[in-house]
Structure 1
Amino acid sequence: MAELLLETQGLRLVEVAPPVVPAGTRTAMDREWDRAVLANPALFDGPVAVCAGLTRENPDTLLVSWSRVTYRYFVLRRVPGATALRSLFVSVVQPTGDGRVLVGRMSSSTATPGRWQFPGGSVEPPTGDAPLDEDALRRHAAVELAEETGTDHPAADLTRCLITHGEDGQVGVHYLAPPLSAPRLHERFEALVAAETARGHTPEFDRIALVGSPADLPDLTGPHVSYLEPVVRWANRRVGS
């Protein structure tokens, strides 16, 4: 699946009304969600933001329209004839000093076991009157990086580097973290796994790897997110140069 890589100076997010799901489709959606939870009890129907549209507001600014739903709405892609919702997610490109970047494999307790991706996740809507803006996205990206890899950067140290737009409409906002040494990244991940295991929890990543170019991706056993190869290629040119 092709991914469009967008670089832009400005990013603006605007909330719009959630999609209207007809009663019959909603019943089918609820049925599919119940099946998904039976297969993976770790799933939860918490709030999530979905992408309602992506346009270029002016030559220097992208406008992302988003709506509040819950995670069960993502199973609409399994309902025949239903309009699947488009994900809005963040990820972090964490480089090493030698130009490689960190990727992780999702564990068996997640919704996508065995899938390789950058640290990150679906965007959650703000609570109360807090806005969903670039600062909120950056904070969310920093939290995802810490929770999945044990690497903790202040949100202010993350720099937006790319926006990806897939053929399926999913929109990803990607941030570049300051480089850390490969031993340090492995040390932090191992400490996170040990701490989570001691609490009786399963880490979101069951493995991490450092890749230097798209040529390294075939060595990763399992499926990859569609944006992995183009973002690794971008990083190989920008971070590895």
Structure 2
Amino acid sequence: MTDTLPATGAELLDVHRIHLAEVEAPKPSPEDEAARDRIWDEAVRANPHLFDGPVTGCAGLERHGGPQDGDLTVSWARLTFRHRALRRVPGNTDWLPSLFVSVIQPVDDGSLLAGRMASWTASPGRWLLPGGGVEPPAPGAALDQAALAREAARELVEEVGVELDPPQPRLWGITRGGNGSLGVVHLAPPRSAEELRARFDALASAERAEGREPELDRIAFVRSLAELTEVAGELGGRPVDYLTPVLRRRQEETADRRGA
């Protein structure tokens, strides 16, 4: 049996295997394309760092078998970043939510690492897990579960300065935000807070020495949404919605390990 999973707000889906199927991107009407481009041009004028690079959009999510099978198919399409401006075009139905990867980087004390997006990024001030949008593969190359794990490992290096060995973090789950954006979450091995802070500080210093600002301007180690909300209140910004089910599940896992 195959059933389509409706979006119900920020949620976490259990998954054991992911199958990815490429589909054609929707074609907006000429009027919607023109409106999209106007909105995009306005956004670029406000933030010249925005780049209309290649991204993938999530065109559908299906579960195969029973609810506990954890076997999912994600349909995806090749887009560019300006596609996201379609969300602001009234009446448009061609917008596809984003497909991204993220990494839970645990800390030895049971917390996890969250980072705040810098002011020059597309999501300034948002607290989230290390990660980023999935780039479409080159023609002839596969977008599969292993490719997503490699992308997640690359994002962890680029944003936090942590390299994984082997560079294949374990698949942990799929998040779906209130706007339908799909996040493939991976789990890295735990490290000490001191090591993570040192690696992030070294990365940020190296970026600034090259005349660039790092993508994350702050990091924090938190155990719960309440802790993250407190950190955001002190430092500024706000958490992305998918962190709510992620932090809740991590608390449950920690409690289970202590009770075992």
Instruction: Please give the range of the TM-score, normalised by the shorter of the 2 chains.
Output: over 0.9
- Give the structure 1 partner of residue 195 of structure 2: 184
After TM superposition, the structure 1 = structure 2 runs for residues 148-167 of structure 1, keeping only pairs within 5 Å, are: 148-154=159-165, 156-167=167-178
Match of 2:58 among 44, 51, 56: 51
Q: 2:209 matched to which residue of 1?
A: 198
Summarize the alignment of residues 2-41 of structure 1 with structure 2, pairs less than 5 Å apart. Answer: 2-41=9-48
Cα distance in structure 1, aligned partners of 2:227 and 2:100: 24
User: 1: distance between equivalents of 2:9 and 2:112?
Assistant: 21
The one-letter code of the counterpart of 2:245 is P
TM-score (norm 2): 0.89
The equivalent of 2:238 in structure 1 is 223
Q: Is the 8 A contact 1:50 1:69 kept in 2?
A: yes
Runs of 4+ in 1 over 3 A off after TM superposition: 154-157
**How far 1:159 sits from its partner (Å)?**
0.5
Tell me the SS of whatever aligns to 2:171: strand
Q: Which amino acid aligns with 2:63?
A: R
Q: Find the partner of 1:118 among 114, 129, 140.
A: 129
2-side partners of 1:46 and 1:167: how far apart?
24
The whole-number CA distance in structure 1 between the counterparts of 2:90 and 2:166 is 40
What's the CA shift string for 1:14-70, capped at 9, x where partnerless? 000111110000001011111111111111111110000001023321010000010
The CA deviation at 1:239 is: 4.5
1:73: Cα distance to partner? 0.2
Of 61, 66, 88, which aligns to 2:76?
Answer: 66
Q: How many pairs does the alignment contain?
A: 241
Q: Decide which moves more: 35-44 or 167-176.
A: 167-176
Asked whether 1:96 is paired with 2:107, we answer: yes
Query: Quick check: 1:139–1:155 contact (8 Å CA) kept in 2?
Result: no
Give the TM-score, by structure 1 length: 0.96
Superposed CA RMSD:
1.4
Shift in CA distance, 155/26, structure 1 to aligned 2, threshold 3 Å: farther
Matched-pair contact (CA < 8 Å) for 1:95–1:239: no
Q: Pick one of 242, 249, 260 that aligns with 1:234.
A: 249
What's the counterpart of residue 4 of structure 2?
none
